[in-house]
Structure 1
Amino acid sequence: MGLYQRGTVWWVDLTTPNGERIRRSTGIEDRALAQEYHDRLKVGFWEEQRLGVRPQRSWQDAAVRWVKETRDKRTHGKDIAKLRWLDRYLGHLQLSQVTRDVIDQIAERKTRESSPSNANRYLALIRAILRRARDEWGWLESIPKVRLYREPKGRIRFLTPDEARRLLHELPAHLRDMAQFALATGLRQRNVSFLRWEQVDMARRVAWIHPDEAKAGRAIGVPLNASALEVLARRQGQDAEHVFTYEGMPVARCSTKAWKKALERAGIERTFRWHDLRHTWASWHVQSGTPLQELMELGSWASYEMVLRYAHLAADHLRGAACRIDGTLASQP
């Protein structure tokens, strides 16, 4: 058939010298350019199968293989969404055509559309795929350098106890219980949302997160304080399987209109995120004297550096050192 159109985009339909039928989108709306793509593709298969020339691999080939090989990745669904967005810019290119200029243009477009930090997530995915194509698949001899935007380190936003009480008061019951549990345990939103009763032992005052459910990939033991146990007592009998549900289903998404309206009524800026509840929990711990090493274990952070962001909230242990120079500028008799 050669070329055919679906909507405004041209597709190729050809048979290789080995008899394999190839059908794929060119990603191109101009017929002449699509014909050029078709011809290059056909010549490439002929050179590969008849002359033994190293085959040209497309971005689409790399994207499909990446999706297959990373299906166990926790952010697999997010990768697929990013690849769908990238397809409009890379879907018609060979890997060798994914140059620094092409990548920079994508970065500029994504930055205008959202933000530099969000653009970095797409650039990092492009870089990861290109590196695997070079280092593991042997599809490329060299790859362009992918430059990420510098991301400023923002301030940690955490609630005061009074703000937290106001927010809990304004939230609907199911979100209130989840938020209180998050503030009591420091668990990430997904671990709260899909917590099962089989993962809770109220008699021993402990819960646990399985390795495949944890961000760091290792099991988490969660000690339950009085506030967490209070929430669990309220939730008992509401669902046989999951601790937190709404209309019989786990609450997969918490940053809803109800969350934002509750923030507004509580007098808290709407930019406060659900994940900031974890920052709040960590900040309260540090301010209450919990050592950073213990906080690292409680929060299941992968490295000590990740808890150092809270160190400035615990300056009490340095007060003695600060006082050593108290008399340095004292008046001499």
Structure 2
Amino acid sequence: MPIYQREGSPYWWYTFSIDGKRFRGSTGETKERAALLAEAEKYQLERGRPTADQAWRLREVLGTFWTEHAQHLSSASDIFFHFEMLSQFLGPSLPISDVTNAKLLDYRAARRGGTIEATEELVRDRPKAWRHRMITKTGFIRPVAPQTVNRDFAHIQAAMNWARDVHGKPMPTIAWTRLKSKEAPFRVRFAAATEFEQLMSGAHPAMRTIILCAVTTGLRRANILGMQWHQVDLSSCTITLPRVKGDKPHSVSIAPVLRAALARTPPNLRKGPVFDATNYKRRWQGAVKSADLRDFRFHDLRHTFASWARQNGADLADICEALDHSSVAVTQRYAHIQPETTTTAFDRVADLLASQSRSQSRKKRA
């Protein structure tokens, strides 16, 4: 019997079985026709829901992706933290089929608004400096920029795609594109020659070598501060990073001025970290203040490398390779910077004629 009435209740009730599992409950309707429709809708909903051996919870989806793939990526630490926050916010036992656009929008609002609690379980493995930077005095994770939330969603989407494509698990339909927050225009701030001179002049001697490495190689701060001497080959003037963004080995050339600075370290002391990162933050801030630079961050040295290379004739493909970007599309942020000396077709013809004229003049004098 699909629907029935219970004594003392004004509502119609339903009862049905699917694969041996019985479902019963109130339709919430007092009219028989409306109750039949409600019962049919409930039946279709339960019929389409994955069975117990098929369905995964949020913890299975995130945990499987982490174990089988994400933990081996260079961004593993960030991915793990994002997964921990999502699990805390939605609940690790939430069936993955119950993850909806609305719940992810709530998560986005919490991340942007700084209302996710920094529980001890969430931050216990994080260093003291990170806690000071990321946790408010009231015990919440600080609000983040739109691109950070979008990166969260990219990791979650990757985990769900992995469960679907690798393990054949049914996943809910999520409007990922519409969930993304609008990001601010990309910021490109680079140092002028005079600003760089002032920065080097006011920096601590140990910080000068770090700054010099950043502006001549374009490497990221983490790669520079974590660089070991075994990654540096002064004879071939190369630095090889075995693991960088994208999880691929990456080599950069050592400019003569940087080689000279690194060579000051005696060969018998070239072990362990290349650079002295003691009091790094205080020394960097002191150098920026001494140079009186406005709105200048360490990452801007990487922009300086790319911008100077572009100004001196490097094309976007060369810069893309040097910065280890995933594609030239990422390097397009420097497209607006034009080389200071551009050789046009007119210049080439003029140079050719000038060369021929000089040659003829020499012949006449002979």
Residue 240 of structure 2 aligns to a residue whose secondary structure is strand
Describe the shift of the 1:134–1:153 C-alpha distance in structure 2 as closer, same or farther (beyond 3 A): same
- Asked if structure 2 preserves the Cα contact closer than 8 Å seen for 1:188 and 1:275, the reply is yes
> Which runs of structure 2 are paired with 1:172-251 in the superposition (5 Å)?
172-210=204-242, 213-236=243-266, 239-246=269-276, 251=277
Residue of structure 2 equivalent to 1:118: 148
- Asked if structure 1 preserves the Cα contact closer than 8 Å seen for 2:97 and 2:171, the reply is no
> Shift of the alpha carbon at 1:306?
2.6
Residue 251 of structure 2 aligns to a residue whose secondary structure is strand
Cα distance in 1 for residues equivalent to 2:56 and 2:319: 47
Cα distance in 1 for residues equivalent to 2:236 and 2:253: 9
* Equivalent residue in structure 2 for 1:160, among 192, 213, 216: 192
Note the alpha carbon deviations across 1:128-176, whole angstroms, 9 max, x for none: 2222222322332433222211213223110112212222233333332
Cα distance in 2 for residues equivalent to 1:238 and 1:121: 43
Describe the shift of the 1:187–1:238 C-alpha distance in structure 2 as closer, same or farther (beyond 3 A): farther
**RMSD of the alignment, in Å?**
2.9
Say whether 1:296 aligns with 2:343. Answer: no
- How many equivalent pairs are there? 264
Structure 1 counterpart of 2:153, one-letter code: L
> Shift of the alpha carbon at 1:237?
5.2
Say whether 1:57 aligns with 2:82. Answer: no
* Equivalent residue in structure 2 for 1:280, among 304, 320, 337: 304
> Shift of the alpha carbon at 1:317?
6.7
Say whether 1:258 aligns with 2:283. Answer: yes
Residue 235 of structure 2 aligns to a residue whose secondary structure is coil
Residue of structure 1 equivalent to 2:180: 148
- Asked if structure 1 preserves the Cα contact closer than 8 Å seen for 2:231 and 2:239, the reply is yes
- Asked if structure 2 preserves the Cα contact closer than 8 Å seen for 1:195 and 1:244, the reply is yes
Structure 2 counterpart of 1:144, one-letter code: I
Moved more, 169-178 or 114-123: 169-178
Cα distance in 2 for residues equivalent to 1:138 and 1:267: 57
Describe the shift of the 1:262–1:238 C-alpha distance in structure 2 as closer, same or farther (beyond 3 A): farther
Residue 312 of structure 1 aligns to a residue whose secondary structure is coil
Note the alpha carbon deviations across 1:18-57, whole angstroms, 9 max, x for none: xxxxxxxxxxxxxxxxxxxxxxxxxxxxxxxxxx743432
Say whether 1:96 aligns with 2:97. Answer: yes
Describe the shift of the 1:242–1:125 C-alpha distance in structure 2 as closer, same or farther (beyond 3 A): same
Cα distance in 2 for residues equivalent to 1:166 and 1:102: 50
- Asked if structure 1 preserves the Cα contact closer than 8 Å seen for 2:203 and 2:284, the reply is yes
- Asked if structure 2 preserves the Cα contact closer than 8 Å seen for 1:131 and 1:143, the reply is no
Describe the shift of the 1:253–1:67 C-alpha distance in structure 2 as closer, same or farther (beyond 3 A): farther
> Shift of the alpha carbon at 1:253?
9.6
- Asked if structure 1 preserves the Cα contact closer than 8 Å seen for 2:313 and 2:341, the reply is no
> Shift of the alpha carbon at 1:321?
8.5
Larger radius of gyration: 2
- Asked if structure 2 preserves the Cα contact closer than 8 Å seen for 1:134 and 1:142, the reply is no
Cα distance in 2 for residues equivalent to 1:54 and 1:75: 32
Describe the shift of the 1:199–1:262 C-alpha distance in structure 2 as closer, same or farther (beyond 3 A): same
Residue of structure 1 equivalent to 2:361: none
Note the alpha carbon deviations across 1:268-305, whole angstroms, 9 max, x for none: 23x43322211101111111222333333333333222
> Shift of the alpha carbon at 1:314?
1.5
- Asked if structure 2 preserves the Cα contact closer than 8 Å seen for 1:58 and 1:95, the reply is yes
Describe the shift of the 1:111–1:302 C-alpha distance in structure 2 as closer, same or farther (beyond 3 A): same
Give unpaired runs (5+ residues) of structure 2.
1-50, 114-142, 348-366
Residue 71 of structure 2 aligns to a residue whose secondary structure is coil
Residue 222 of structure 1 aligns to a residue whose secondary structure is strand
Give unpaired runs (5+ residues) of structure 1.
1-51, 324-333
- Asked if structure 1 preserves the Cα contact closer than 8 Å seen for 2:96 and 2:171, the reply is no
Cα distance in 1 for residues equivalent to 2:233 and 2:334: 30
Note the alpha carbon deviations across 1:214-235, whole angstroms, 9 max, x for none: 3244433322222211221233
Residue of structure 2 equivalent to 1:268: 293
Describe the shift of the 1:283–1:62 C-alpha distance in structure 2 as closer, same or farther (beyond 3 A): same
Cα distance in 2 for residues equivalent to 1:64 and 1:99: 19
Cα distance in 2 for residues equivalent to 1:168 and 1:317: 27
- Asked if structure 2 preserves the Cα contact closer than 8 Å seen for 1:209 and 1:220, the reply is yes
> Shift of the alpha carbon at 1:242?
3.2
Residue 234 of structure 1 aligns to a residue whose secondary structure is coil
Over the matched positions of the two proteins, sequence identity in percent amounts to: 24
Residue 241 of structure 1 aligns to a residue whose secondary structure is coil
